[in-house]
Homo-oligomer: A and B are copies of this chain.
């Protein structure tokens, strides 16, 4: 029998996170204060985040120690296994080896707790008593709920109303972990009440939910806001995953030719690939591929520009690929990929051509996901199916080129709470979404007049 999985001993869990800012070949454009147009300083962010996380956000130290208390919680499910997808390889019949890192083994079923645990710890250490956040499909909200429970923090999650109604299981999960999950727009905030007054039946949006969560946190000195992707410190925390993977591959004497992940805000992709990006910057030949949806083609069709992180324009301006902060993506089932922008770190690396981005349509991703489930067994999150579609494409290319390839990808989460999406696919009810050029042009009007990077 040929080996399928590579485990690490708990003693081998990485003790530091990797900060790619230390190795950036060119300087990144700093976040700007929307009022002054000047780079934001730590004090500007102090009402929103605790100072220890703000320090991490701007740090250029290459290695940052993972606190003992965080490691202890990571060990509840980490190190996660690295698998070889032998059955899927057989189905594809291409000259490829396919390895995947199984982040679905965490209690909420995704990579999200890698940063949720760290953020809860740092907030607690800073004396904060309550965290407020938003969630779309619910992966992030459930991960932060668990983390807050484990560090004795209160947690309030503003969940986009339409998802709250469509996916009740995620909200229940948050309740099991003791959090308060509120459909957004809500009457708890000025921002929410304003929307409700105009649109009592508003289905909500991630933009509105972010505005509510920030307002809720900023108004209470014992509370802070928490974000599950996009920011530097969030991507930093996720690198524990890629660092584990490097150790696992080393054990079996394998190095990937291609590293793949799906991208919404960029955090699961960054977590796996940034340690490999470091190798690439130091001369290693390797492709790093971000898989995004054609319905929200941030990097494949948006410009690199300064834009707000939220619809209500409350965040600093970030230099990133964006479709405009007003952009409302089609209601694809991969809710975690429905974000108009992209992590500045990922955006910068794509702009510098160290990474590349490709877009996949919804039906294609479920096709890949069902093939996956029927060979490897595991049912993937709709987001993860985008990475699998990219794997299929890479395998086809290797076959055409007659070239052997080692493919590595992040199996960022399972789809056991997203089965309705599979039902829609299997019964032919799934919609294809491609963005018309005019619609993208219209959305990009939102960034007219903002500073340019």
Contacts and interface: CB of A to CB of B under 8 A. Distances in A.
A3 to B, nearest CB: 5
B177 A416 contact: no
Given A76-B376, A379-B176, A5 B1 contact: no
Contacts of A60: none
Contacts of A4: 10, 75-76
Interface in A400-423: 416-417, 419-420, 422-423
A254 interface: no
Given A72-B1, A75-B5, A176-B370, A146 B423 contact: no
A172 B377 contact: no
A426 interface: yes
B379 A107 contact: yes
B150 A377 contact: yes
Contacts of A416: 109, 169, 173, 416-417
* Chain A facing B: main interface SS: helix
Interface in A1-30: 1, 3-5, 7, 9-11
Interface in A96-111: 105-107, 109
B176 A422 contact: yes
Contact of A149 (B3, B176, B374, B417): B374
A146 B377 contact: yes
Nearest to A142: B379
Q: Number of copies of this chain in the oligomer?
A: 2
B377 A76 contact: yes
Given A1-B71, A3-B10, A419 B377 contact: no
Contacts of A146: 377
A373 interface: yes
Nearest to A76: B377
A422 to B, nearest CB: 5
Contacts of A3: 10-11, 75
A59 interface: no
Given A3-B11, A149-B374, A176-B426, 16 more contacts: A1-B11, A1-B72, A4-B10, A4-B75, A76-B87, A76-B378, A150-B374, A169-B416, A169-B420, A172-B426, A173-B416, A175-B423, A176-B422, A177-B374, A178-B374, A417-B419
A265 to B, nearest CB: 23
Nearest to A414: B416
Contacts of A107: 373, 376-379
A77 interface: yes
12 contacts: A3-B75, A5-B10, A113-B377, A150-B377, A168-B420, A169-B420, A173-B379, A173-B419, A175-B422, A175-B426, A176-B373, A176-B379
Contacts of A420: 168-169, 172
Interface residues of A, number: 46
A419 B68 contact: no
Contacts of A373: 107, 176-177
Nearest to A105: B105
Nearest to A107: B377
A214 to B, nearest CB: 27
B87 A422 contact: no
Interface in A66-112: 68, 71-72, 75-77, 87, 105-107, 109
A200 B416 CA distance: 32
A376 B426 CA distance: 35
A264 to B, nearest CB: 21
Contacts of A105: 105
